[in-house]
Chains A and B, each alone.
Chain A
Amino acid sequence: MQRRHSCPRRSTCNGQIITRRDRTASSSTIDQGSTPALKDQHYVYVNGQQVAHYDESTTVDVLSQVTAFSNSNGTGDYVVQEGDTLKSIAQAVYGNASLWYVVAQANALNGDADLAVGLSLSIPAVTTSKNDSTTFKPYNPSEIQGSTTPNLPVIAPPPPPPKQHCNVIAAIVVIAVVVAASFIVGPLAAAALQSGIAGIAVGAAAGSAAGQLAGDALGTHQGFSFGEVFTAAATAVVTAGVGEYLNTVGEVGFVAHAIQGAAGYVAQDAVEKLTGEPAHFSWAGLVANSVASGVASEFGPTEEEVRAGTTASAFEIGSASLVQGVVQRETSSALGDNHVQSWESIGENAAGSYLGAAVGNAFQPNVATRQSSPYTFDITKGGQGVPSGDPLDGYRSSDFPSVASSNMYATYAGAYGPGGYREESGYASAEAPSPGADREVSELVWPQPGSSPDASYPTRGPLYNLGVGTIPVQVPYLAPSLSNEAEVTAEPSMLEASQGLARLSAWADVEAGISTLPVRAGLAPKAAPLPDVEALYDIQPGWFAQSHAIAAAGANDPTNTPFQRGVFTVLDGLALPMVLAEEAVRATGNAPAQAGVSAQWAARASLESNSDDSLTDISNSLCTGGNALFGLAGGAGFAESAAVDTVLGSKISSFSSEGLQLSGSAGNYTLRSPFYLDATPGQLNSGIPLGIRNPLVSAENSVASEAQAVSQVAVDESASSVQTIDKVSFGAPNTMAASIGKSGYASVQEFSDVAYAKYQGLVDEGYARADEALQSGKLQVPAGVSEKTVLGQFTDDYARVGMKDWLADEGIEEGAGQVIQVNRYLYDPAGTGAYRIPDVSFPGASQIYDATLGFKSWSTPQVRGFYQYSNGSAITIVRPVQLGGSYSVLVPR
């Protein structure tokens, strides 16, 4: 078969390439392969200068010098106004306060003291080769000073820009928001609207309103603004008008969408000014909006569909909004725009777009229904060490979607069996469920439908009602009801309760085309009694709250496996049993940065204390739990790395993030971590390992959990290659102290644990008090400050004072060089001068606790700063339980 490679390009009339496509064509097919570089590449120009590049892997690179500015003609004179300084004048006329000396020199001024109101200053010409977000001159038509025609000088091609990656976690969060909204929209669809401009306006208004309400429920938006609603409607009308015009002149595709996006941005700015909403116009924002609109057009209805009159689905529009928001945010950020759209706002907009489209299209979703899972579990295993009614028990690895790593699910499946090991293709023969023993999955897996709003949980109202009121909104738990890939990739018109967000992950990946989103369904930990689950769940809707609820509820159920009790089903399918990780850290003294893998293995290695055990014995103990002596259970721990070396050193042939590889007479074994993902360790970094810190696990449960932990290992007997290592090191022992404080804490870790509980309580109490004070009018909310910020500030202050008072009561010194530091500067050890201020840090335990009302992931600058500047501390975000509680963030290396 003859194959030929081609690389067609689309160019501007100036010969600048705007699209490049690499492909290999055979007789009837075109293959672009899987290499990102071979995907279509798009280039964006402004005034002939390339300003951005993006490809179809959602990579968006915006060149760093796009804001370079020249006023080579000079700006004439400037008359000094009240309050002017040399820097403010330089900022006004040059867009760069650092050029104050140019003004001073040209006018023989010694400093600000020489400025007098009414003094006329000569403003010489200046050309700057590079600006950034702090120096770029903002554009405001009503406040024009200086040049009205900033031009972009021709500059040399920049070096390859750093990659800008979309935040996967946020993307999934906003998808979750859209889907949560989809459960709410039902009856709205009955209000079918006329198409056309009026429909667009009403749809946009409905979307804005719904988005605001959803934002209220999420805690990401405060209050309701009719101005926002009107702005959305008016902006949509103007944008649509421009779109119609472009259609009449035959301009379609990316350029048209880019122009339309720019028009919408300008229109929004104008309408915001009219309505008194905060206006945030900037050129960076304009460019970002333009680029994002063009990119988003790739995800919405195609031009052909538009021409053919095909109605885009609400999901298509919602997805387009989502993608547009993500791209716009990345572009704005890269351009240095000060008004980068928050992820929460993107989520609101996506949800709003979804709802608006649903209304406009008279989208008629099915009412969410709950159905029994077709899967079964074997209740007979309750007598064999597995909790009766374990909803996951009895699942075959083949029950899980094929889009996921089979190894991963083989491991997961193995984690739940009493033997701890099932063949990938299904049960090991000895574990096959006996006929008649199968039962449907307990309905406890899902919340009961028909729940009515509960006054005890005020945030439940918006979630459940949101103008609908009659539909019991049930965003289900992650339910393992995915049976095959075909089902996953089929676009559902409406999620069903039993399909859950697990399905959404796959679905969204396929539909939104966000190829960087790893698609793996999560498993469903067993839920605690429903009232608790619902209470937790309803505190804040969405993915995170759901996961928190699952983890918290599961942790309280002593019949759960440790995996279920401690797990936070994370977004990359990486289920990380944080409880085990933390205990392993405690036992081994490992740096928490290693806790994700190595410390766990160190703990597991302690299963075996007899140095002369055979490899088979070791694998048996790990896999069957038959003679497991989990070091942590007995309190002896596994703090002595030497023991590891002695016991297993001769047998461990390799050690990696994938697990241990053992060699011996019985063969070669690869023992994999229960959160083993794929063969490439780098994939760990592509995910969002985000685990919940769960202090709720009681001591009496830990023994049982650790005994069960041995089952969380699968053995891959097919491994053949063996690498030899000389030594396995698990880090230095934990910092110990004779006694800390009046209470006599025996170790830094013990003190840290107590301090965490204390801080959590203070944050909870502070937030409750602040919220009450806000509601009663005691707290003032200054103009331009959100209620959330006020609440956060007061909560933070309250917890800080409470923490310091407690330390004073304990007689524990706080500060530099002390075992605990409260609100102390944490400088970059690289000497850059950069710093962060974590609320509470324990250098000796490598732990940082930081209170916040929002969500933070490892990609949040604060979290990364904490991690980097503390040389890898474990970071726990302490959130009020009223908002869903705390969680830990593991930062990928």
Chain B
Amino acid sequence: MAAKIENLSDLRARISWIVLSAPDQFPTTGSFSDDQSKNLLIAFDLVYAGFSLVEKRIKDSSRLEELRALLRDALVAYQHGDDKKGAHLLQDFQGMVFPDRFKEYEDRKGDSA
């Protein structure tokens, strides 16, 4: 069973996890199975389920629609075998919702390069 997305940080992390797992390196335990195409859908469903958190942060409806489109396009890209495009679209999504994520990471970890 996949963990529920409880906060925006969970959402950011789940998207990163998809970037590193899609299209065919998802786990095969818990909520996931040997069917990687199905796993891809499950993974995106998890993100969609957490989208309400984004709606609380971003009120601009056009921007929200842009974000939804990014997710849709990313899934389509993966389904069409364009892994790089799918990954980039997901990162574009992250960039719009979490523009300071790298800075926050460095602050949290004390790491900087």
Contact = CB atoms under 8 A, between A and B. Distances in A.
Interface in A761-810: 766, 769-770, 773, 776-780, 782, 785-790, 792-794, 796-798, 800-802, 804-805, 807-809
Interface residues of A, number: 45
A220 interface: yes
Nearest to B9: A823
Interface in A215-233: 220-222
A786 B110 contact: no
A129 B75 CA distance: 57
B20 A794 contact: yes
B110 A801 contact: no
Interface string A179-208: 000000000000000000000000000000
B105 A792 contact: yes
Contact of A790 (B1, B13, B102, B109): B102
A869 to B, nearest CB: 14
Contacts of A862: 108-110
Given A778-B87, A796-B105, A805-B30, A770 B20 contact: yes
B27 interface: yes
User: What interface size band does chain B fall in?
Assistant: 35 or more
B25 interface: yes
Contacts of B112: 342, 786, 789
A575 interface: no
Interface stretch (A22-30, A152-160, A489-497, A853-861): A853-861
B84 A794 contact: no
Interface string A222-254: 100000000000000000000000000000000
Contacts of A800: 13
Contacts of A798: 13, 16-17, 20-21
B101 interface: yes
A797 B16 contact: yes
B24 interface: no
B16 A794 contact: yes
A860 B87 contact: no
A773 B25 CA distance: 12
Contacts of B2: 805, 808
B10 to A, nearest CB: 7
Contacts of A808: 1-4, 30
Contact of B17 (A786, A787, A797, A860): A797
A599 to B, nearest CB: 28
A609 interface: no
B36 interface: no
A14 to B, nearest CB: 41
A763 to B, nearest CB: 12
B88 A778 contact: yes
Nearest to B88: A780
A807 B3 contact: yes
Interface in A837-875: 837, 850, 852-854, 856, 860-862
B95 interface: yes
A209 B78 CA distance: 41
Contacts of B21: 769, 798
B19 interface: yes
B73 interface: no
Interface in B25-44: 25, 27, 29-31
B91 interface: yes
A805 B110 contact: no
A801 B13 contact: yes
Given A782-B102, A797-B12, A792 B1 contact: no
A809 B27 CA distance: 12
A337 B87 CA distance: 37
A221 B113 CA distance: 7
B111 interface: yes
A792 B88 contact: no
A856 B110 contact: yes
A766 B21 CA distance: 9
Nearest to B6: A815
A804 B10 contact: yes
A776 B19 CA distance: 12
A342 B111 CA distance: 10
Contacts of A770: 20
A785 B100 CA distance: 11
Contacts of B31: 805
Interface in A691-713: none
Given A342-B112, A801-B17, A805-B27, A779 B91 contact: yes
Which of B2, B19, B109 has most A Cβ within 10 Å?
A: B109
A778 B19 contact: yes
A15 B95 CA distance: 58
Contacts of B45: none
Contacts of B1: 805, 808-809
Nearest to B15: A797
Contacts of B30: 805, 808-809
B55 interface: no
Contacts of B110: 852, 854, 856, 860-862
Interface in B47-104: 83-84, 87-88, 91, 95, 101-102
Given A805-B2, A823-B9, A789 B111 contact: yes
Nearest to A796: B105
A507 to B, nearest CB: 30
A782 B1 CA distance: 33
A332 to B, nearest CB: 14
Which of B31, B88, B91, B111 has most A Cβ within 10 Å?
A: B111
A394 B91 CA distance: 60
B105 A802 contact: no
Nearest to A776: B84
Contacts of A854: 109-111
Which of A778, A780, A809, A860 has most B Cβ within 10 Å?
A: A778
Which of A342, A793, A808, A809 has most B Cβ within 10 Å?
A: A793
Contacts of B87: 773, 778-779
A805 B29 CA distance: 10
A785 B101 CA distance: 11
A796 B13 CA distance: 8
B105 A788 contact: no
B109 A796 contact: yes
A782 B2 CA distance: 30
Contacts of B109: 792, 796, 850, 852, 854, 862
A176 to B, nearest CB: 20
B96 to A, nearest CB: 12
B84 A220 contact: no
Contact of A793 (B25, B88, B95, B102): B102
A790 B31 CA distance: 28
A117 B97 CA distance: 29
A769 B13 contact: no
Contacts of B108: 836-837, 862
Given A222-B113, A773-B87, A808-B1, A801 B14 contact: yes
A102 to B, nearest CB: 29
A788 B3 contact: no
Contacts of B10: 801, 804
A714 B9 CA distance: 52
A805 B5 CA distance: 11
A855 to B, nearest CB: 10
Contact of A801 (B3, B29, B105): B3
Contact of A797 (B13, B88, B95, B113): B13
12 contacts: A769-B21, A773-B20, A773-B87, A786-B112, A789-B102, A789-B112, A794-B19, A801-B3, A801-B10, A805-B27, A808-B4, A823-B9
Given A222-B113, A801-B3, 7 more contacts: A773-B19, A778-B19, A789-B113, A794-B16, A796-B109, A798-B17, A805-B3
Q: Which 6 A-B pairs have the closest CB atoms?
A: A786-B113, A797-B16, A804-B3, A788-B113, A797-B13, A801-B17
Interface of A: 220-222, 342, 766, 769-770, 773, 776-780, 782, 785-790, 792-794, 796-798, 800-802, 804-805, 807-809, 823, 836-837, 850, 852-854, 856, 860-862
